[in-house]
Amino acid sequence: MDMLINGTAAHAAEETWIEVKNPATGEFIDRVPRGSREDVNAAVEAADAAFGAWAEKTTRDRGLILYHAAALIRRDHKALAELLTREQGKPIRESTDEVRGCANILEYYASIAGMPAGENISLGKAGDCLVTRVPLGVCGAIIPWNMPVIIMGWKVGPALLAGNTLVLKPASATPLTNLRIAGLMQEAGLPAGVLNVVTGPGEITGAALVRHPQIKKISFTGDCATGYRIREMADSHLAALTLELGGSDPMIVMADADIPKAVEGALRGRFYNAGQICTAVKRLYLHEKIAEEFMRLLTAKTEGLAVGNGLAPGTDMGPLNSAEQLGRISSVIRETTEREEGTIRAGGCPLTGPGFDKGFFYKPTLIAGVAPDAEILNNEIFGPVLPVVTVPDLSAAIREANHSKYGLGASVWTRDLATVKQVYREVHAGIIWVNRHLTVPPEVPFGGTNESGIGRENGSKALDSYTQSKTLYLGW
C-alpha cells in the first residue's frame, strides 16, 4: 500500500519497503514504503499548501466531511476490522469495536463543529476585545501499533475540525488500516494535502516530522522514552505538544465490591488487546477480606480465555504484536520468577504447538502474592500479565497505587461513596473509574499526569489544544 501525499498515492523517494506481517501466522499481508526525510518534506509542503483554503472553510463544512468519513468507515467496517486484526493481531470483535470507535470519534467532532468558541472582553471606555480561536497550521501525528485506529481518530478528528492540516506517521507494524482510513477520508471529500500519511521508521520519518520547522504541533502516542526524545526535538522550534505515554494503572477492589463484576472488570481490563493498552489494568490491589475468593474466580476465568488467531470466531485473546513483544513479556516472567516475587496462578509461558508455532502467543498470566515493593510493579507491563497484591485497607491501597512514575488511569471497585471520594482525591491519575476500567468515550478527556504524558486527547479540550487565541482589540 502506498503513502498518501497531497491526495495521491506516493512511493518513497528511494524505493525500499517495510513488510507488514500477521502476528498470528507470520503471513505477509502487504508492504509500505520505507519513507525518508524527503518524503516527510513533501508531505509537510503539501499540508502547508492546503492549509489556507482548509482553514478558511467554516467548521461546519469541515465537520460535514468528518461526518461523511465516519459514514464510509461504517460502510467498510467489516473489511477494515479484518485488516486491523490481520496486521495487529487482536480478536475481530475488538477490531470491530475499534473501527466503530473511530467513526464515533469523527462523528463526535463533527457534532461539536460550533466550537471552538471565542469570547468578548469588555474593557469599558478603553474598548472591547474580540478573542477568536484560530488553527495552528501544519500539525504532525505519530501513532503506535497497539490501538492504531482509535488513536488515529483521536488525533485526526480535532486537528482537522479546528482547521489544521496534518501529516500522520503510523507505526511500521500497523500502517495498513490507517492508510485505508486516510483513503476513505479523501473519498469523503477531504481536499488534497489536508491529511497526508508518511510511512517509515520512527527514527527517520517520525524524527524528521517532529524536527520539521514548519510543524506547529506534534501529537504523539507511544513509549515514554520516545516521548522524551520527541519533546527535545519539538522544543528546538517550539512546536506545541501532546504526549500520551505509558501507564501502569492500578485497580483497587474493596471488600464491599460486587465481586463477580469486578472479576469481569479485571479480566477485560488486563487481557483486552492481549494487555497491550496504555490504560490496561497493570496492577491489581485486592482487599485481604476478598482476595482469596477473587483470585479463585479470576483464575478460573483467565484459564478459560480462548487464545488464538484473532480472525477465528470465539477467540478471546490474540497474539502479541511482535517477536520483540513476546521476548519482553517472557523476560518479565522469567525475571519475576527468578526473584521469587510471586506465585504464577495462571499462564506464565508462551503458547506453543500446532496453530501457535508461527505466531507470538503468550498465555494470559496471573501472579499472586506479590509484595507491594516488588520490582515487577515498577515498570509498565505491556502484555497479558497481571501481578496481584493483597492490601489490608484503603489507605494502603492508595499508597501503593501512587507508588508509580505513571499516572494515566486508575479504578476503584466499591459501593461506598466515601471510598470513591478518597480515591478520587488522593490517587494520581488523569481518570479515575468507579466500578469499571478502560472505557473512554469520545466526549471524555483522556491523558495522564506524571510520566504518562502532557495534554489531553478526546473531548472538547482536545479541540482547544489544536487552536490558539487571536485578539482583536477595538479601541472605540
Residue numbers at the binding site for ligand NAD (CB under 6 A)? 142-147, 169, 171-172, 202-203, 206-207, 210, 221-223, 226, 229-230, 244-247, 278, 380, 382, 408, 452-453
139, containing H or E segment: strand 138-142
Catalytic (active site) residue 224: no
Task: Tell me the three state secondary structure of residue 253.
Answer: strand
Nearer residue to ligand NAD within complex by CB, 113 or 278: 278
Closest CA to 152 of 73, 38, 85: 73
Please tell me the distance from the alpha carbon of residue 383 to that of residue 330, in angstroms, as a whole number. Answer: 10
Catalytic hit among 278, 400, 451, 457: 278
Nearer residue to ligand NAD within complex by CB, 203 or 335: 203
Is there a contact between 463 and 109 (Cβ–Cβ < 8 Å)?
yes
To the nearest whole angstrom, how small is the minimum distance from the Cβ of residue 209 to ligand NAD? Answer: 7
Nearer residue to ligand NAD within complex by CB, 128 or 223: 223
To the nearest whole angstrom, how small is the minimum distance from the Cβ of residue 230 to ligand NAD? Answer: 6
Strand ranges, E, within 265-370: 281-287, 343-346, 365-368
Is there a contact between 81 and 101 (Cβ–Cβ < 8 Å)?
no
Catalytic (active site) residue 139: no
Catalytic hit among 244, 380, 451, 457: 244
Please tell me the distance from the alpha carbon of residue 392 to that of residue 308, in angstroms, as a whole number. Answer: 38
Count of beta carbons in the 10 Å neighbourhood of residue 302? 24
To the nearest whole angstrom, how small is the minimum distance from the Cβ of residue 257 to ligand NAD? Answer: 26
Say which residues have a Cβ less than 8 Å from residue 353's Cβ, sequence separation at least 6: none
To the nearest whole angstrom, how small is the minimum distance from the Cβ of residue 1 to ligand NAD? Answer: 16
**153 DSSP assignment:** H
Task: Tell me the three state secondary structure of residue 67.
Answer: helix
Nearer residue to ligand NAD within complex by CB, 203 or 303: 203
To the nearest whole angstrom, how small is the minimum distance from the Cβ of residue 173 to ligand NAD? Answer: 8
**307 DSSP assignment:** B
Please tell me the distance from the alpha carbon of residue 107 to that of residue 111, in angstroms, as a whole number. Answer: 6
Give the helix, strand, coil percentages of the chain, each rounded to 5. 40, 20, 35
To the nearest whole angstrom, how small is the minimum distance from the Cβ of residue 69 to ligand NAD? Answer: 22
To the nearest whole angstrom, how small is the minimum distance from the Cβ of residue 152 to ligand NAD? Answer: 11
Say which residues have a Cβ less than 8 Å from residue 432's Cβ, sequence separation at least 6: 409, 410, 411, 412, 423, 424
Indicate the length of the chain as a whole number: 476
To the nearest whole angstrom, how small is the minimum distance from the Cβ of residue 314 to ligand NAD? Answer: 27
79-86: long-range pairs with CB below 8 Å, 24+? 79/180, 80/149, 80/177, 80/180, 80/181, 82/311, 83/29, 83/176, 83/177, 83/180, 84/148, 84/149, 84/174, 84/177, 85/310, 85/311, 85/318, 86/22, 86/27, 86/29, 86/310, 86/311
To the nearest whole angstrom, how small is the minimum distance from the Cβ of residue 414 to ligand NAD? Answer: 26
Nearer residue to ligand NAD within complex by CB, 18 or 396: 18
Nearer residue to ligand NAD within complex by CB, 324 or 375: 324
Task: Tell me the three state secondary structure of residue 34.
Answer: coil
Say which residues have a Cβ less than 8 Å from residue 71's Cβ, sequence separation at least 6: 103, 188
Q: How many Cα neighbours within 13 Å face the side chain of 16?
A: 6
Of the chain, the end-to-end C-alpha distance in Å amounts to: 58
Task: Tell me the three state secondary structure of residue 152.
Answer: helix
Q: Please work out, in degrees rounded to the nearest 5, the angle formed at the alpha carbon of residue 377 by the alpha carbons of 374 and 383.
A: 135
Q: Annotated catalytic sites, by residue?
A: 244, 278
